[in-house]
Amino acid sequence: MNPAAAPPPDRQASRDAFERMDAARWGQADLAVALLALMPLRLKGAVFDGAAPELAGLLQDRLTQRLGNGALLHRMPVSITDDRLIGGLDLAATLAAGRPIAETGLLARADGGVLIVPMAERLPGRAAAQLARVIDTGEVETERDGLSLRAPANFVTLAFADPDEPGELLPAGLGDRLAFGLSLHGVSPARTRPETLSPAMVDAARAKLRWVSVPDEIMDGLIDAALRLGIRSLRAPAFCLAAARGIAALAGRDEVTDADASLAAELVYASRANVLIDRSEPPAPPPPEPPEPDNENTDDASRPQPEPDELTELLVEAVRVRVSLDMAARARTTRQRSRQEVPPGKSGDMVDSRRRGSRIGARAGDPRRDGRLDLLSTLRTAAPWQRIREAPSGGAVISVRASDFRVKRFRHRSEAVVIFVVDASGSSAMNRLADAKGAIELLLSGCYSRRESVALIAFRKEGADLLLPPTRSLTRVKRSLSRLPGGGGTPLAAGIAAAAQLVRIERRKRKAPHVVFLSDGQGNIALDGSPGRERAAEDARDMARRLKSLQEPVLFFDISKRPSAQAEMISTEMGAIYRPLPVADAARVSRDVRSLLLE
């Protein structure tokens, strides 16, 4: 063998370490699936974070094989509606039969099988609450559309999450009701995964499980470890105890050992730990022992608590190491954006709409003025009342009244509008306009991915003009900004008034306006067009207070040669973020606007 072809020792050692970690992580995920097949009603389910599609499919296949009895997979879409999730009125059957017919929901159909929840971090709160309630009770119970429905729903839940943004988190109530939370970041989907726990082994462990005992010291150690890790949920120790018994049964033992408890703690506690013990810090000195109480009947809560035993320390250390490895693996697999890539920006709040956006349901309303008719919801509302209504004339099958009409509801993110208000007066007007033009073009370079538009107001001579209406077209911006006027007096009050008026217009369009001023704050033209610094300053303060009352974000760039007290005072009156910028440039303006307003 050629020595030059062999990898360096450091690289080989690193590769070996990654392979061991890959095998250990997959081994824990495979063990968790075996435990779910062994005790589906006790452990409820698992959350897998960062699992590749190939690994997710393999876990699903192994779980159904080990469950046996023809267990089926049922997939729960993120956008599922209530009637599809928990059941409701079967509209087609109701219209055919002339009486209300119930339709079984997804959760009831999943009874005895496996429920797959992809993209669980994006699950709406209402759907997550419905799922958590069914996991707790083991049955679906609902009353809607004139029907009362109740059906058993005992299933194993496999939730797969891979959040991209900090705000995308698994609903806390759902994660607490599933026994395991495991990270598969860094686990390669290309490796072969031999099956070490066959369905026959799971069947043998199922027959042995009832005879597995747990020593009292292990029960106490699991509870103490949960308290030391900051876990306050009562479900976690119960899950951990059940998992330890299952691990012992799979190994063919009649009693749970410390190693079984340690492995169970890694599977259950790692995703729930709120407090981690840092071993690099020296332990705190023990507090002085209190004097012996004279009264023997002192309350137990006032007595000093015993020091954690060796088993508790073992469990806490196992969880600490597992959490540290999970965090390191997530950091290695997180995609890093290049400097040329446009980061996702802020697009405003979620707002309801009658015409566009994502469909979120239906509501009562008149289609002629309140939006689009939702035909299915309208028929579903009218169907339960057919028995007590008069038969429709003209051979109609169903009687629909005005109170039955339902219109569609939509929701979308409001578009962010950046309104530049530029002082175009005096000798430095061209420089200021050039900076504004460059900043606008830089902001618009990625507007399609961030849902942003820009507008430009320039104030000079006796008033202010809207030179560029809100737009997202970079071609239109370059064409409109090529010939902008400059010079004359400084009507600052008119510029602020024009900005406030445009803010009101954009708010009526359900957009999110942001205002950026480039000025030295030295107005010399009053709001009515008359010259005079005192009157101009008074009008500017009045308009600034009116702009502040709109409660929209404002950024004020002071482009004086030195920071101006007048400019700072005006920015305070309008509630703006004040930034002195004696030497303005397009890149600096664009960067500050994005960091201070849009992100």
CB 44 within 8 A of CB 279: no
Spatial CB neighbours of 430, under 8 Å, sequence gap ≥ 6: 486
pLDDT digits (tens, 9 = 90+) for 360-414: 777 788 777 777 787 777 877 777 777 777 776 666 667 777 788 888 777 656 6
Which of these ranges, 9-18, 322-331, 564-573, has the smallest mean pLDDT?
A: 322-331
Same domain? For 32 and 105 the reply is yes
pLDDT of residue 236: 92
Report how far residue 368's alpha carbon sits from residue 371's, in angstroms, rounded to the nearest whole number.
7
Same domain? For 324 and 472 the reply is no
* Residue 503 exposure: Cα atoms within 13 Å on the Cβ side: 21
**Does pLDDT of 286 surpass 60?**
no
- For residue 8, is it within any domain? no
Same domain? For 402 and 463 the reply is no
Q: Taking residues 423-448, report their average pLDDT.
A: 65
- For residue 231, is it within any domain? yes
Top pLDDT among 136 and 446 is at 136
CA angle 427, 429, 430 (to 5 degrees): 105
Residue at which a domain ends, from 187, 207, 238? 187
pLDDT of residue 598: 64
Instruction: Fill in the amino acid letter for 89.
Output: L
Q: The domain containing residue 367 runs over which residues?
A: 353-391+398-412
**Does pLDDT of 42 surpass 90?**
yes
- Number of C-beta neighbours around residue 124 at 10 A: 13
Instruction: Fill in the amino acid letter for 42.
Output: R
- For residue 12, is it within any domain? no
- For residue 204, is it within any domain? yes
Instruction: Fill in the amino acid letter for 195.
Output: E
CATH label of the domain that carries residue 75: 3.40.50.300
Position 597 confidence tier, pLDDT thresholds 50, 70, 90: low
CATH label of the domain that carries residue 473: 3.40.50.410
- For residue 67, is it within any domain? yes
- Position of tokens 């729903």? 153
pLDDT digits (tens, 9 = 90+) for 309-358: 778 888 788 777 777 766 655 554 444 433 333 334 444 555 555 565 56
Q: Taking residues 522-535, report their average pLDDT.
A: 86
Same domain? For 171 and 230 the reply is no
Top pLDDT among 332 and 260 is at 260
Same domain? For 142 and 270 the reply is no
Report how far residue 459's alpha carbon sits from residue 539's, in angstroms, rounded to the nearest whole number.
15
- For residue 299, is it within any domain? no
pLDDT digits (tens, 9 = 90+) for 460-512: 888 888 888 888 776 766 666 665 566 677 889 999 999 999 999 988 887 88
Most confident of the following: 254-263, 290-299, 404-413, 470-479: 254-263
Instruction: Fill in the amino acid letter for 10.
Output: D
Q: Among candidates 597, 505, 503, 520, which has minimal Cα distance to 554?
A: 597
CATH label of the domain that carries residue 215: 1.10.8.80
If DSSP codes are grouped into helix, strand and coil, which group holds residue 403?
helix
Report how far residue 258's alpha carbon sits from residue 369's, in angstroms, rounded to the nearest whole number.
69
Same domain? For 168 and 252 the reply is no
Spatial CB neighbours of 560, under 8 Å, sequence gap ≥ 6: 520, 521, 522, 567, 580, 582
If DSSP codes are grouped into helix, strand and coil, which group holds residue 464?
strand
pLDDT of residue 355: 61
* Residue 504 exposure: Cα atoms within 13 Å on the Cβ side: 10
Which of these ranges, 130-139, 164-173, 376-385, 416-425, has the smallest mean pLDDT?
A: 164-173
Q: Taking residues 43-66, report their average pLDDT.
A: 91
CB 492 within 8 A of CB 519: yes
Same domain? For 171 and 125 the reply is yes
- Position of tokens 């049922």? 74
Same domain? For 211 and 172 the reply is no
Most confident of the following: 113-122, 289-298, 398-407: 113-122
Same domain? For 252 and 174 the reply is no
- Number of C-beta neighbours around residue 385 at 10 A: 16
The helix (run of H) or strand (run of E) holding residue 33 is helix 9-38
Instruction: Dig out the tokens for 456 from the structure.
Output: 């430009």
Spatial CB neighbours of 411, under 8 Å, sequence gap ≥ 6: 350, 351, 352, 353, 357, 358, 360
For 503-533, give the DSSP string: HHHHHHTT-EEEEEEEE-S---B-TTS-B-H
pLDDT of residue 463: 85
Q: Among candidates 592, 588, 548, which has minimal Cα distance to 569?
A: 548
Instruction: Dig out the tokens for 369 from the structure.
Output: 């003025």
Report how far residue 317's alpha carbon sits from residue 484's, in angstroms, rounded to the nearest whole number.
67
pLDDT of residue 585: 64
Report how far residue 409's alpha carbon sits from residue 407's, in angstroms, rounded to the nearest whole number.
7
| Sheet (strand 350-353) strand order | 350-353, 406-413, 358-364
Report how far residue 47's alpha carbon sits from residue 445's, in angstroms, rounded to the nearest whole number.
39
Residue at which a domain ends, from 383, 412, 441? 412
Q: Taking residues 74-98, report their average pLDDT.
A: 79
Same domain? For 402 and 449 the reply is no
Instruction: Give the mean pLDDT of the chain.
Output: 78
Report how far residue 518's alpha carbon sits from residue 457's, in angstroms, rounded to the nearest whole number.
10
User: Could you tell me the end-to-end alpha-carbon distance of the chain, in angstroms, rounded to an integer?
Assistant: 56
Q: DSSP strand E in 263-415: where?
A: 350-353, 358-364, 406-413
Alpha helix locations (H) across 138-257?
A: 172-176, 199-208, 216-228, 235-250
Position 157 confidence tier, pLDDT thresholds 50, 70, 90: very high
Same domain? For 363 and 438 the reply is no
**Does pLDDT of 115 surpass 90?**
yes
Top pLDDT among 237 and 426 is at 237
**Does pLDDT of 434 surpass 70?**
no
Report how far residue 225's alpha carbon sits from residue 275's, in angstroms, rounded to the nearest whole number.
11
pLDDT digits (tens, 9 = 90+) for 118-146: 988 888 888 889 999 999 999 988 777 66
CA angle 174, 177, 179 (to 5 degrees): 120
Spatial CB neighbours of 232, under 8 Å, sequence gap ≥ 6: none
Same domain? For 181 and 211 the reply is no
pLDDT of residue 153: 92
- For residue 449, is it within any domain? yes
Cα 109 to its chain centre, rounded Å, is 28
- The rounded radius of gyration (Å) of the Cα atoms in the chain is 33
If DSSP codes are grouped into helix, strand and coil, which group holds residue 455?
strand
**Does pLDDT of 301 surpass 90?**
no
Our count of domains for the chain comes to 4
- For residue 346, is it within any domain? no
Instruction: Dig out the tokens for 90 from the structure.
Output: 């079967």
